[in-house]
């Protein structure tokens, strides 16, 4: 299984070139506009889900069964709404949960948002979470996740040799 994560900062062509070159089974993009997400899905013939700047794309190997989406909690002073996507399904007959989010860098927001994310990712099923989580005591480790090759990709219940995680920041 190949998983890739991009953090978008304005260059759709670079994301498309990366996805075509690497051909991941699952791709997540953070900080992406819904129109750009639609363009990626259309040009690469991928299924996709979107919420609050987060997008998950997958190829025909992944068979989705349930998609849940939510906005992360925020204080009234913060205008930007960040999303959390959780897609449950199967790949090659193995149950798999795929999640994508971006938590705030500010400690006060980060802790509240991480609690929200952790509540939705509890369980024993194999999972891949695309979540850039900055330095801090609380992350996803105690939920059975381990960082993959990419600093923003977390894996649970899947042998590490079966996952090739790639990351680009654009």
pLDDT band at 132 (very low <50, low <70, confident <90, very high): confident
CATH class label, 2-165: alpha beta
Q: What is the pLDDT of residue 40?
A: 92
User: Where along the chain do its domains lie?
Assistant: 2-165
The yes-or-no verdict on residue 75 having pLDDT over 80 is no
Residue 126 has pLDDT above 90, yes or no: yes
Q: Is the whole-model pTM more than 0.85?
A: yes
* Least reliable range by pLDDT among 1-5, 18-22, 133-137, 148-152: 1-5
Would you give the distance in Å from CA 120 to the centre of its chain?
Answer: 13
pLDDT for residue 21 is more than 60: yes
């Amino acid at each position: 299984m190949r998983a890739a994560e991009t953090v978008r900062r304005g260059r759709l062509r670079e994301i498309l070139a990366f996805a075509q070159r690497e051909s991941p089974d699952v791709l997540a993009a953070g900080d992406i506009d819904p129109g750009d997400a639609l363009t990626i899905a259309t040009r690469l013939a991928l299924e996709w889900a979107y919420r609050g700047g987060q997008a998950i794309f997958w190829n025909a190997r992944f068979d989705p069964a349930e998609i849940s989406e939510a906005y992360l909690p925020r204080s009234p002073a913060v205008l930007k709404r960040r999303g959390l996507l959780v897609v449950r399904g199967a790949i090659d007959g193995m149950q798999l949960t795929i999640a994508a989010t971006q938590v705030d860098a500010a400690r006060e927001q980060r802790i509240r948002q991480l609690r929200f994310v952790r509540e939705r990712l509890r369980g024993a099923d194999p999972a891949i979470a695309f979540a850039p989580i900055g330095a801090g005591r609380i992350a996803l480790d105690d939920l059975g996740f381990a960082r993959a090759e990419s600093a923003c990709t977390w894996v649970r219940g899947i042998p590490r040799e079966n996952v090739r995680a790639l990351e680009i920041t654009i």
